[in-house]
Amino acid sequence: GLSETGLDGLLATGVLRESGDVLAFEHGSVQQTALRLAIRLPDVAEIHASLAAQWLGLAQRTGMSTDFPTGLHLMRGNNAHAASGHLVRATRALIEEGRNSLAAWSAGLAIEAADQSGGAMARQEARRLHAEALIELRQYNAAEQLIREALAIEPIDRLTQARLTLGLSRVAMGKG
């Protein structure tokens, strides 16, 4: 069977939706891709790459944001470079929506992606966003650690340094 964590992940990424006691695929194209891939028995990275392509296609056809599931599947498909921008955009949107737990998950993936493929600015921004979500969740020590990591990444521009310093101020205020 499927673990509770796995099920939560599928629901959070929008692959599945729950209606009462019934679970269903959210989009037919995702369901068809999953079925085709399950029949062929490809490797896991290939499945994730194909699902990422389906999410991108859905975004292009409908105009809806699929940055989180696209970025998640790109990461799991071993394409950190392509995942990074999607995960940063998803994290920003999730913070704006007040979905801070999911934003923290997305930002953690963004850090992983940026560390594998990104430059200093991408690595700093992913950490800043993760810290922002953690501040909202009142996890001040973890947020402070991420901000200090970001400040240590060179080179750093003035705007990024100012945003990170503001984050440290928010941590200090939160700690009291």
Altogether, the residues listed in the chain come to a count of: 176
Would the pLDDT of 97 be above 60? yes
pTM over 0.85? The answer is: no
pLDDT, residue 143, reads: 98
- The CA distances from residue 65 to 55, 128, 147, in Å, are 9, 22, 28
pLDDT, residue 75, reads: 94
What is the end-to-end Cα distance of the chain in Å, rounded? 46
pLDDT, residue 98, reads: 95
**3-class SS of residue 16:** strand
In this prediction, residues 58-86 reach a mean pLDDT of 93
pLDDT, residue 129, reads: 98
- Residue that the structure tokens 């029949």 belong to: 39
Would the pLDDT of 30 be above 80? no
| pLDDT tens-digit map of 134-164 | 999 999 999 999 999 999 999 999 999 999 9
Q: How confident is the model at residue 5 (pLDDT cuts 50, 70, 90)?
A: low
pLDDT, residue 22, reads: 74
CB 95 within 8 A of CB 128: no
Q: What is the CA radius of gyration of the chain?
A: 18
